[in-house]
Structure 1
């Protein structure tokens, strides 16, 4: 559920008319519904209210400080994958004891920052990383709390590029090597084993791969305890899908929770979750303006002012986003269009062969389900400014990231002294 709907054929974000907002802010821009963000984190957290669980929101999904502050106020922690995300989480008021640090390539500087912040857990993804973390923690006279990310060799995810739990993926320690690495970790002076971590993919719309992976993790925990490891936590990652279109109906968090409770009940562990897309995805729209209608020889094109630098998911993952007019005309005739942007790349498209109502240049369109991995993956390609992010709360709105000027975009660049 989200808080974007039509009122007298005009699209609203909560109580804000999006057409009027577009006139004030200028397109393209992202708009987020605070009520939706709060609802989604509550629905997920409530599903695990009768367990010992930490919901660590995946910051990479949408790292805007205002979004993080909202989720922090609802009790969420943070899953971070860089020093920058760690800084954001702390800045937004997320307590260090609710922060886990994931990622395959943690640098010395990042490990030092996380150790000094006294975060809750490092999710270690390789033997070299474990050795490095032990050495750095020793230099700082710190103890690093660790879960080792194991790769259960379970294929899952809505696209090949967002499946992370197969043996050929770069993530985690191979299943067959896990017990040996835990044995090494037990001998390290500045490492404290706390748990097991896994994450099998993103935009998963079926509970079956979760069940397979989680049962393997439960078996591993029993084996590790027999080996003498103290396992207190089980980090199950994120990955639960969201409805992107009529054909995608993911499991409800309650059904997901029922599965997990059944599998993990005998283990007596704290559960850690890293939802991102499920919280932010349907809490945001990308609003764009139609610039030209172009009649090609074989296709019709709607050329809009949003581009792949603003929303790269269709080009990167063949992702589907519903597209709707901001002002609905119930009598409009549908036609088949490619919706494309102005960037000089053939991959710069938002939708292909999509049935949409006929529209005129200057009209606004809303690209749905854009709250996750939209703004966070955007760039300034073609020297296009990062677009505004707007937060809506009832009948109030605020620009929570403004559009930079061209002078600001070039301010970090300088001519070397040998160029006149």
Structure 2
């Protein structure tokens, strides 16, 4: 469920018409619903009720400070994958003991930043990383809490570019080597073993791969405890999918996921950490764009928008589907038109949809890309010297710009021409 619904023929964000926001800030822009973000966080939090747990929002999905502050005030922790994301979490008021640091390429400088600022744990992904973290911790005179990310060799059957749990993927250490790696970690005085980490991929629409991975995790927990390691936390990663269409796509409910976690891991006495990103932010946002031209080709009609692949790259990168709907609701029974929906960038890949049946849209009319709250604004760029688009947060009948559109002077002033030119 989200809070982007038609009312009296106008597409609303909670109690604000998206057309009214467009009139105030221009297009394109991202709009997020505070009510939807809140609802999705609470669904996940409630799904693990009765277990010691922490929902660590995966910031890579949407790292706007206002979004982080909203979720942090609800009790969320944060899953960060860079020093920049760590700084954002701290700036949003998230305490260090609710921040988990993941990622395969942490630098010594990033480790130092987190150890000095406070951290719940590092999810370490290799033995070389452990050695560097141990050295940094000893240099600072502290102990770094760690969970080792194990790769359970489970194929999540998701998109090739977002699968992370197979033996050929770059993440984690093979589960077959886990006991050896934990023995090695235990010899390092700058490290404190606190748990195990696993993450098998994103946009999973079946609980079976999760259960397969978690059963391997449960067996490993018992083995590591028998080896003398104090395994008290299990970081289960994220990855639970969301519906990108309004048709028959029905991913598992958070309550069903929670019941499975409780059944497989509930007897181990471990604190459970999960790292959802898309599930919280995806359906909480839309991208609003205006039609520049409707162009008749030889065998197709092109809907040319002012949004482009630099604003929303998922369709170009992943072949991802986003429902595209008019801001003014089509009349009942109105015929649909088949469009290729494209942007103005000089790339054939700047295409959002091919041969998409839609309500008729005319030049100057606006549309919304649904389910654009995750991996939209965070993956945008200024390709073709196009400014980053604004982000807007709605709460009830009020809205605020939470990232402004930069002007061209701001963009140009980032560059420097050497004196010798």
TM-score for both structures, normalised by structure 2 = 0.98
> 1:323 — aligned with what?
324
**Corresponding position: 1:393 with 2:384:** no
> 2:100 — aligned with what?
100
> 1:91 — aligned with what?
91
User: Please, which of 378, 381, 398 is the counterpart of residue 379 of structure 1?
Assistant: 381
CA positional deviation for 1:23: 1.1
> 1:45 — aligned with what?
45
Superposed, 1:263-342 pairs within 5 Å as 263-330=264-331, 331-342=333-344
Which is worse superposed, 344-353 or 359-368?
344-353
Superposed, 1:2-401 pairs within 5 Å as 2-156=2-156, 158-245=158-245, 246-330=247-331, 331-401=333-403
CA positional deviation for 1:117: 1.2
What per-residue deviation string (whole Å, max 9, x for no partner) do you get for residues 315-345 of structure 1? Answer: 1111111111000121532121111001111
CA positional deviation for 1:140: 0.8
1-side partners of 2:314 and 2:54: how far apart? Answer: 29
CA positional deviation for 1:282: 0.2
CA positional deviation for 1:19: 1.1
2-side partners of 1:142 and 1:248: how far apart? Answer: 48
Q: SS at the partner of 1:30?
A: strand
2-side partners of 1:270 and 1:354: how far apart? Answer: 46
What per-residue deviation string (whole Å, max 9, x for no partner) do you get for residues 12-40 of structure 1? Answer: 00010111211111000000000111111
User: Please, which of 390, 407, 410 is the counterpart of residue 408 of structure 1?
Assistant: 410
Superposition misfits of 4+ residues, deviation over 2 angstroms: none
2-side partners of 1:228 and 1:297: how far apart? Answer: 71
TM-score for both structures, normalised by structure 1 = 0.99
- Asked whether the 8 Å contact 2:155–2:163 carries over to 1, the reply is yes
- Asked whether the 8 Å contact 1:59–1:276 carries over to 2, the reply is yes
2-side partners of 1:254 and 1:278: how far apart? Answer: 13
Q: CA RMSD in A?
A: 0.9
Q: SS at the partner of 1:122?
A: strand
What per-residue deviation string (whole Å, max 9, x for no partner) do you get for residues 278-335 of structure 1? Answer: 0000000000001111111222210000000000001111111111100012153212
Q: SS at the partner of 2:416?
A: coil
Q: SS at the partner of 1:238?
A: coil
2-side partners of 1:48 and 1:37: how far apart? Answer: 18
What per-residue deviation string (whole Å, max 9, x for no partner) do you get for residues 212-271 of structure 1? Answer: 000001111111111111101000000000111123211000000000000002211000
CA positional deviation for 1:376: 0.6
- Asked whether the 8 Å contact 1:157–1:239 carries over to 2, the reply is no
2-side partners of 1:169 and 1:348: how far apart? Answer: 28
Q: SS at the partner of 1:256?
A: helix
2-side partners of 1:52 and 1:207: how far apart? Answer: 21
- Asked whether the 8 Å contact 2:51–2:266 carries over to 1, the reply is no
Structure 1 spans left out of the alignment, 5+ residues = none
- Asked whether the 8 Å contact 1:157–1:203 carries over to 2, the reply is no
